[in-house]
A and B are shown apart, each in its own frame.
Chain A
């Protein structure tokens, strides 16, 4: 059973457009992390959100943790080709294990 559902699975947009990736679960997480993965590499941490309702900004990326700590979103403003990659959300419950979503493949066309 997959705990974290990511949507959409694939997203292709033009440079300069905005995009949002969603991560939803029926489970409560103590924290949630977003990673980005490039082909042939391992996931690289972008952000950790801990508090329900928390919003974090990383340049053009905005991350939000739902009030109930069951869902999260990643919004990219004015996407650039360098934003292309696989975006993964991962939740932590009461232990150290991460439960990953299946990922969203983002392609930004120049």
Chain B
């Protein structure tokens, strides 16, 4: 089966601009997650979708970040306006098991490396 696909793989934007990251989960996976790794720090949770509904967005840094998952398929994460501290690697992951927890773990995408200059 196809894995989790993220694009772009890299994005360099200027401070104040808008960037939209996209994630295509594994087909049939109801659970979709966004995580972020800022340089020098651990990977941190941003939010969790179950189908098209936001189950938990407690990890979203602020209201400059907007995530959507229309129709319960692919998801987008928009940063507007981008700030320098938004730089990092944004990972998307999906899982199938009910309740969100997957004994078999999440399948992660390769990530989008965002650089804000």
Contacts and interface: CB of A to CB of B under 8 A. Distances in A.
Interface of A: 2, 4, 31, 33, 35, 40-45, 48, 50, 88, 90, 92, 95-103
A100 B43 contact: yes
Interface residues of B, number: 27
Q: Which 3 A-B pairs have the closest CB atoms?
A: A42-B108, A96-B100, A45-B105
Q: Which of A2, A45, A92 has most B Cβ within 10 Å?
A: A45
Nearest to B37: A100
Nearest to A97: B45
B26 to A, nearest CB: 13
A95 B56 contact: yes
Interface string B42-82: 11110010000001100100000000000000000000000
Given A40-B110, A42-B111, A103 B42 contact: yes
A88 B43 contact: yes
Contacts of A43: 43, 91, 108
- Most-contacted residue by chain B among A40, A50, A101 (CB, 10 A): A40
Given A33-B105, A43-B108, A95-B56, 5 more contacts: A31-B103, A41-B111, A42-B93, A42-B109, A96-B100
